[in-house]
Amino acid sequence: MTFVVPEFPPFDPDLAARLEARIAGKAKPPGSLGRIEALAVQIGLIQGTETPRVGAVETYVFAGDHGMNADGVSAYPSAVTTAMVATFLAGRASVNAFAGACEVTVRVVDAGVDADLPAHPLLIDAKVRRGTRNAAVEAALSVDELDQALTRGAEIARRSEADALVLGEMGIGNTASAALIMHRLAPAALDDCIGVGAGHDPDGLARKRAVLECAAARSAADQPLEVLREFGGLEIAMMTGACLGGAEAGKVVIVDGFISSAAALAAIRLAPGLKDRLVFAHVSAERGHRLMLQAIGADPLLDLGMRLGEGSGGVLAAPLVRAAARLMTETASLDEVLSGAIVP
């Protein structure tokens, strides 16, 4: 494997102290803005400055298909992945509606869709292969395919000119892969990781559980790269690379829901110092997500009962990230107010 995992040393304690003092000196009661104050400090530390800025925000919806879907781990066929990619590119999905309201650009990444997609200005062709292999019977990816996915994800994040990146996904069957990743890397009991995904009825959920039990019994992998290789998917592996590459480039990386958090979990297990450089947008209603966030030690910004994916929760958190940065740079200090230096 040629992908090199970056190292993330602890944040500069002197900068942290200056940022905290700067927040404490603002014209407001101490602590009165709660989590936004901590978020403002975190953004300053990520960007390495006392005057952080979050202007442009881009959402990358990484799309890929899953071989396990042949065994019925989803209530929907894999063709829905391709149909939803077209919907994103047409600007008609939920994430597009939210992005328009929040002034966020949506881009789609073909990580491994099981179709040949026509070129589009908002589509990034990073396809490694047309879907993963069936992880219930064999490794989802080869070593080389995993290496390509990690490398391409990191490159996409590094090349972005945005200040903040939202990592979202689309892939029928990807809650199955995410559940297996959580099972091995949290770690957690497999049953605690398995949810209804896109909408299983009880029979469908039982079928999904049986397939995942088979996949888990097939491989004892418990190290991040091997877990990603054994259980997929390409969009998850590519988001893992994007977490690492985006953070290495000093960007604010906003993690969406259950599947995006599985990618972040793998990235953090590869590079533990990464955790404080990620912003976790929300806690999903998908079974297992709250437990996964606890295993990571993450404190999400929102709890809206959402479980859509697509980067939708991350987009809704983007205005909070922008507001936190502006708190640091645009709010007057108490000294300025009391000295009369502030004039209309």
- Cα distance between residue 131 and residue 235, in whole Å: 10
Check if the beta carbon of residue 306 is closer than 8 Å to that of residue 256: no
How far apart, in Å, are the Cα atoms of 103 and each of 60, 89, 317, 319? Answer: 14, 16, 12, 9
Check if the beta carbon of residue 301 is closer than 8 Å to that of residue 320: yes
Query: What does DSSP say about strands 252-255 and 164-170: parallel, antiparallel, or unpaired?
Result: parallel
Nearest to 60 by CA among 180, 179, 161: 161
Q: What DSSP designation does 206 have?
A: H
How far apart, in Å, are the Cα atoms of 293 and each of 14, 246, 257? Answer: 28, 20, 10
| 310 labelled catalytic | yes
Residues contacting 300, CB < 8 A, separation 6+: 280, 281, 282, 283, 293
Burial pattern 151-163, b for ≥16 Cβ within 10 A else e, equals bbbbebbbebebb
Nearest to 264 by CA among 230, 66, 95, 277: 277
Check if the beta carbon of residue 150 is closer than 8 Å to that of residue 240: yes
Alpha-carbon torsion 68, 70, 72, 75, what sign?
A: positive
Can you name the residues that pair with 164 across neighbouring β-strands? Answer: 57, 252
Please pick, among 37, 169, 248, 310, the residue that the annotation labels catalytic.
310
Nearest to 287 by CA among 223, 193, 216, 220: 193
The residues assigned a catalytic role are 310
